[in-house]
Structure 1
Amino acid sequence: MSDMNYRVYPAQMETQSFGRLRVDCTTDVGFRPIPNATVEIASTGNPSNVIERTTTDEIGRTGEIELPAPPIEYSLEPAMDQPYSEYNVKISASGFAPVEVNAVQILPEVNSEQPVTMEPTEVSQGELFVVLPHTLYYEYPPKIAEDEIKTEFETGEIVLPQVVVPEFIIVHDGPPSDTSAQNHYVRYRDYIKNVASSEIYATWPEATIYANVLAIMSFTLNRVFTEWYRNKGYNFTITSSTAFDHKWMNGRNIYDNIGLIVDSIFNNYLSRPNVRQPILTQYCDGKNVQCPGWMTL
């Protein structure tokens, strides 16, 4: 067995569930693939014990790495047990600064991709991402209620003549008033995939995922259409704060089935009859937070 491609697991029961992770390495300029990058994976609970080591191929990707995960039932019904397992992923490549992503979330019976962008060693010493807990497992600030349809008499005056699906949006990684929070230019589709992976479980039925993705897209396009934050004097499109918008997690892994659904309907949104603008589709979990008249997960 090669030193560069091995796996070491503790003894597992025959009923052990598994999820699968694929790492995709590209350069930060031009997004060229990085072949022969070394990828090491360890459980977050025992970060010094590497359980998987492999390398990327000529297109900068690893194969699908099978990793232990909790029973699928944990993510299909409300439960006290964490429904996903967490792993630390370290990536290194000759000529590039190392990247580490901690607490990558692996759900059972689901494939996911960990995108990694690497910078040359002359411009970076390395980067660390820490994936925050999933919104259905951790209690984040609840959404502050807003009208689902914005009028031109509100601060967020409508300025666009029609609904346009942007290629990029600017995500403010914190509450609107936090001037220390960083702004990130993110492709619109990648933003939707990230939010959906952070706010719903990829193990849910396909129809449920479709409905939630539509809600996320409608909310986001309402922010774009009304230029809500720019009309308030901010230089971004949307925030990562659950009190104001959706939870976006910089550097997190994306579930394949969620990505495919987003790609298939990315130019759709929800609206009311005779109303052109997308609905600001607010929702909550319906258990930890009650939200009469909203969507519930």
Structure 2
Amino acid sequence: MNALKAMQENAVDKGRLQVNVTSESTSFPISDATVAISYTGEPDSTLEQVNTDSSGQTETLELNTPPVEYSLDPSVEEQPYSEYTLNINAPGFEPISISGAQLLANVTALQDVRMRPTDENEEVFVIPGHTLYEEYPPKIPEDEIKPVNETGEIVLSRVVVPEYVVVHDGSPADTTAQNYYVRYRDYIKNVASSEVYATWPENAIRANVLAIMSFTLNRVYTEWYRNKGYDFTITSSTAFDHKWMSGRNYYDTISLIVDEVFANYLSRPNVRQPILTQYCDGRRVTCPGWLTQWGSMALGEEGYSSIEILRYYYGDDMYINIAPEVSGVPSSWPGYLLENGSSGDKVRQIQEQLNTIAGAYPAIPRISADGVYGPSTADAVRIFQSVFGLPQSGTVDYRTWYKISEIYVAVSRIAELA
């Protein structure tokens, strides 16, 4: 407790926290949920208590964090993030406690909470330490390109961004570990938030996100674990895959990047499959020929672009590719901006989807689905972007198109798991 108190007293910077509460059964937002926030280790000393609005969101709170420099310097041994405990209650729903929510200086932590419709036992999440701060098993090296011509090998015919991945929360052989169905983008945001610091330069974060996504899509494309007789896509073991943490928060800087590049992966010439891009921290563990996380941060600070960072580690024949198919959406991005003056079927589709979403999120106004992108459509899009943490441009770009698709699918339940 003394070490925890010392860290809290040394919390001289500010981070931000927003909590988003939805129903696990319907994906509708839960209004008037109560969120009590305390330092982890001092659960009886409430710092803030807030309620969610009609979109299931709290106001964005400012809370103490350690100095931002702690997360930018690999030689600093002090913990670079504060840990908070969140207790969430709503009438008719199972209470939830999250211990160890991690706040970094100068960025917004986004905590998604999905509540079960029952008044039974409290659901408790204890978030383990960040991989750059705590000790975790290093990655066991593998070939970056998998053989695909063995008898019985199951391999997809082309790269597809899945709607969900099944995460085995343990090592592959651990039969007691639970499997979780996780939306692909949420999985990437969770892993990136667990394995790099959201305070890093944007291009360093983007390079790490691309490496995480390419590795994950290699597991999907080659059906790596299912081909070995397992019933999951990937594990949460750092020795085999990436660190995914059930119930953890993610960050606005990471979320925006993932939403921008989620269909990308890394490839080499004449290789169809996404490259299994392995990496290490570069401080406690060295890994020649792989990306190092702290090294990528330093290159980002020097002004390297994301592809320059990736080629620095993986070689000049590494390229960014885009998957031809995204699963679980009504239709793919049309390839052009929808804005004031646009018209046609794609505009009508967005208008209809926004109206369906407005049935769950009353802050978003209903609009005429006439196929004409006018001021009322721009207004509805702008409010949607505000609710879901996107730049409030009032135009439907790539990120907004797929975010509207994701929320539409969730609230209309057209893509329920079998």
Q: Given the two structures, how large is their TM-score scaled by the length of structure 1?
A: 0.93
With 145-154 and 64-73 compared, the bigger mean Cα shift is at 145-154
The equivalent residue for 2:230 is 234
User: Which structure has greater strand proportion?
Assistant: 1
Tell me which amino acid in the other structure corresponds to 2:266: L
| Pair 1:151 & 2:147 matched | yes
State the SS of the aligned residue for 2:94: strand
* Residue of structure 2 in register with 1:106 after alignment: 103
Q: Check conservation: 1:155, 1:231, Cα contact below 8 A.
A: no
1:81 to 78, 88, 104: 78
Alpha-carbon separation, structure 1, partners of 2:152 and 2:127: 31
**Which residue in the other structure is 1:31 paired with?**
27
1:267 and 1:20 mapped to 2: Cα distance? 28
Alignment of 1:238-253 (within 5 A): 238-253=234-249
SS of aligned partner of 1:97: coil
Q: In the TM superposition, what is the alpha-carbon distance from 1:126 to its structure 2 partner?
A: 2.0
The residue identity in structure 2 corresponding to 1:41 is I
Q: Residue 152 of structure 1: CA displacement? A: 2.2
Shift of 1:287: 1.4
In structure 1, give the amino acid aligned to 2:133: Y
Deviations 1:13-42 (A, max 9, x none): 9x9310000011111111111111111000
Which whole-Å CA distance do the structure 2 matches of 1:12 and 1:44 have between them? 13
C-alpha distance after superposition, 1:225-257 (max 9, x if no partner):
000000000000000000000000000001011
Q: Which amino acid in the other structure matches residue 48 of structure 1?
A: D
Amino acid at match of 1:56: T
CA distance in 1, matches of 2:154, 2:132: 33
Cα deviation digits, residues 103-129 of structure 1 (max 9, x gap):
00000000021101111225x422000
Whole-Å Cα distance in 1 between the matches of residues 106 and 286 of structure 2? Answer: 30
Structure 2 counterpart of 1:80, one-letter code = E
Give, in whole Å, the separation in 1 of the partners of 2:69 and 2:290.
Answer: 26
> 1:160 maps to what in 2?
156
1:172-211 map, 5 Å: 172-211=168-207
Pairwise CA distance, 1:47 = 1.7
RMSD: 1.6
* Distance in 2 between residues matched to 1:268 and 1:81, nearest whole Å: 35
Structure number with the higher helix fraction is 2
Partner of 1:53: 49
User: For the structure 1 residues 12 and 285, does the alpha-carbon distance in structure 2 shift closer, same or farther, using more than 3 Å as the test?
Assistant: closer
Instruction: State the Cα deviation string for residues 116-156 of structure 1 (Å, max 9, x = none).
Output: 1111225x422000111000001100000000000125699
CA separation in 2, counterparts of 1:183 and 1:272? 32
- SS of 2:153's equivalent? coil
> Post-superposition shift, 1:158?
5.0
> Retained in 2: the 8 A contact 1:156–1:226?
no
Amino acid at match of 1:205: P
Q: Who is 1:6 aligned against?
A: none
State the TM-score, normalizing by the size of structure 2. Answer: 0.66
Counterpart residue number, 1:94: 91
Letter in 1 for 2:241: D
- 1:140 matched to 2:118? The reply is no
Residue 166 of structure 2 corresponds to which residue in structure 1?
170
Tell me if structure 1 keeps the 8 A contact 2:87–2:98: yes
The corresponding residue for 1:289 is 285
Contact 2:102–2:109 (CA under 8 A) maintained in structure 1: no
Moved over 6 A (4+): none
Q: Give the 3-state SS of the residue equivalent to 1:258 in structure 2.
A: helix
Which residue type is aligned with residue 237 of structure 1?
T
CA 49–155 in structure 1, closer or farther in 2 if over 3 Å, else same: farther
Measured after TM superposition, the shift of residue 157 of structure 1 is: 3.2
Residues in 2 aligned to 1:202 and 1:100: alpha-carbon distance in whole angstroms: 24
Is the 8 Å Cα contact of residues 18 and 69 (structure 1) preserved in structure 2?
A: yes
Cα deviation for residue 159 of structure 1 reads 1.5
Counterparts in 2 of 1:11-30, with a 5 A limit?
16-30=12-26
What does 1:58-69 align with in structure 2 at a 5 Å threshold?
58-69=54-65
For residues 248-275 of structure 1, give each alpha carbon's deviation from its aligned partner in whole angstroms, at most 9, with x where no partner exists.
0000001011001000000000011111
| SS of structure 1 residue aligned to 2:268 | coil
Moved more, 271-280 or 154-163: 154-163
Residues 155 and 232 of structure 1 are in contact (CA less than 8 Å); yes or no, is this contact kept in structure 2? no
Sort the Cα spacing of 1:145 and 1:74 in 2 relative to 1 into closer, same or farther, 3 A: same
- The whole-number CA distance in structure 2 between the counterparts of 1:99 and 1:126 is 5
- Aligned equivalents of 1:239, 1:204: Cα separation in 2: 26
Q: Secondary structure at the match of 1:169?
A: strand
Give the secondary-structure state (helix, strand or coil) at the position aligned to 1:117: strand
1:277 aligns with 2:269: no
Q: 2:38·2:48 contact (CA, 8 Å) conserved in 1? A: yes
In the alignment, the residues of structure 2 paired with residue 65 and residue 71 of structure 1 have an alpha-carbon distance, to the nearest angstrom, of: 18
Structure 1: tracts of 5 or more residues without a match: 1-10
Deviation at 1:12, TM superposition (A): 8.0
